[in-house]
Amino acid sequence: MVDNADADIDSDVTVGIDSGEGISELAIASNKKSGTFRARFVGQGYKQVCGRADVWGDGVVPEVSAHLEGALNVSFDGVYHSPVGSDDETRPWYGSPVIVKDWIHHLLE
């Protein structure tokens, strides 16, 4: 998840933050004249899941919905939610071998 991008946040504007690391992004609630289609689309999806568009996420699930209180929560920068549109080297998803090696040990402990 991206948490260090520079953005001038205005609650009336939809903005996608390009971190240069895949699709993790912040989407800000809805002004169709601003922001990219992707940012508006992602923001509306986040809004349906958690009630807000102006949150960090992986392009499908907002981080606030993915993280559970009391659980070990692991976030990865620039990681796709699904294998669709990803590849293991430049655009990995959570199931890519290079990413799995960083979280699988938590399941085995």
pLDDT tens, per residue, the chain with 109 residues: 433 333 333 333 222 333 344 444 454 444 455 678 888 888 999 999 999 998 888 888 999 999 989 999 888 888 888 888 888 888 899 999 999 999 999 999 8
Q: Is residue 9 part of a domain?
A: no
Question: Can you tell me the distance from the alpha carbon of 26 to that of 73, in angstroms, rounded to the nearest whole number?
Answer: 19
How confident is the model at residue 105, as a pLDDT? 94
- Is 94 domain-assigned? yes
pLDDT at 34 (0 to 100)? 60
Range of the domain at 85: 25-108
For the whole prediction, is pTM greater than 0.75? no
Say if 18 falls within a structural domain. Answer: no
Residue 64 inside a domain? The answer is yes
Q: Is 60 among the domain residues?
A: yes
* 14 within a domain of the structure (yes/no): no
Residues 6 or more apart in contact with residue 60 via CB below 8 angstroms: 45, 81, 82
Task: Give the 3-state secondary structure of residue 80.
Answer: strand
Residue ranges in the chain assigned as alpha helix (H)? 37-50, 63-66, 97-108
Q: How many independent structural domains does the chain possess?
A: 1
Number of Cβ within a 10 Å radius of residue 71 = 7
Question: Does a structural domain hold residue 16?
Answer: no
